[in-house]
Amino acid sequence: HDHEARHLADIEALIDGSDLSDTVKHHAKVIFIEIAQAEAAVHHMPLAEVHFHEVGALDSIVDIVGCCIGLELMQIDTIMASPLSDGSGFINVAHGQMPVPVPAVMQMRVGSAIPIQQRLDVHTELITPTGMGLVKTLVREFGPLPENAVPTRVGYGFGKRDTGGFNALRAVLFEKKN
């Protein structure tokens, strides 16, 4: 990982210095704070000293801020998710080899009721700290596809990592039935 490491204050300054709406700025900063709090706990350091490697990379900043922009543009009022699945084994990151789920993801689970099943047949990470930060701060309900809503659009975001199976995030836009 040859990305520039950034502190939370650096990322917040980038967000605050942008022309984004106050709502987008607020949501993006809440997500980064959630991830930073997990990293601070894992590394036993003050929040201000946490520096992001993978999450501080420009593509991760764009992922988080872009998600918040998209939600605002589409006027999404409720986010629901199915239960999550993570893999097993180990991955290599900036801090060396880490178990899956990675420590930051496990830390973000503390005190939450986010349903996660571990897939022992997948030997890599399926939930990143970025993804967990988005889910923990934005998702309000977990469960099956809603029966009282009509799907109006479906989109996919495909991952690059070989997981041995379908590696994509599916988003479905529903309209509530009257």
Segment 127-138, tens digit of pLDDT: 999 999 999 999
Confidence of residue 1 (pLDDT cuts 50, 70, 90): very low
**Model confidence pLDDT, tens digit, residues 81-106:** 999 999 999 999 877 899 999 999 99
Whether the pLDDT of residue 166 is over 50: the answer is yes
What per-residue confidence (pLDDT) applies to 171?
A: 94
What per-residue confidence (pLDDT) applies to 51?
A: 82
8 burial via Cβ count (<10 Å: 0-12, 13-18, 19+): buried
Whether the pLDDT of residue 2 is over 60: the answer is no
What per-residue confidence (pLDDT) applies to 46?
A: 95
* pTM of the predicted model as reported, rounded to 2 decimal places: 0.90
**Model confidence pLDDT, tens digit, residues 35-46:** 999 999 999 999
Whether the pLDDT of residue 17 is over 60: the answer is yes
Give dist(CA 68, CA 27) in Å, integer. 7
What per-residue confidence (pLDDT) applies to 100?
A: 96
For the chain, give the mean pLDDT: 91
What per-residue confidence (pLDDT) applies to 125?
A: 93
Instruction: Determine contact, residues 55/129, Cβ cutoff 8 Å.
Output: yes
Whether the pLDDT of residue 21 is over 90: the answer is yes
Give dist(CA 140, CA 114) in Å, integer. 10
Instruction: Determine contact, residues 128/95, Cβ cutoff 8 Å.
Output: no
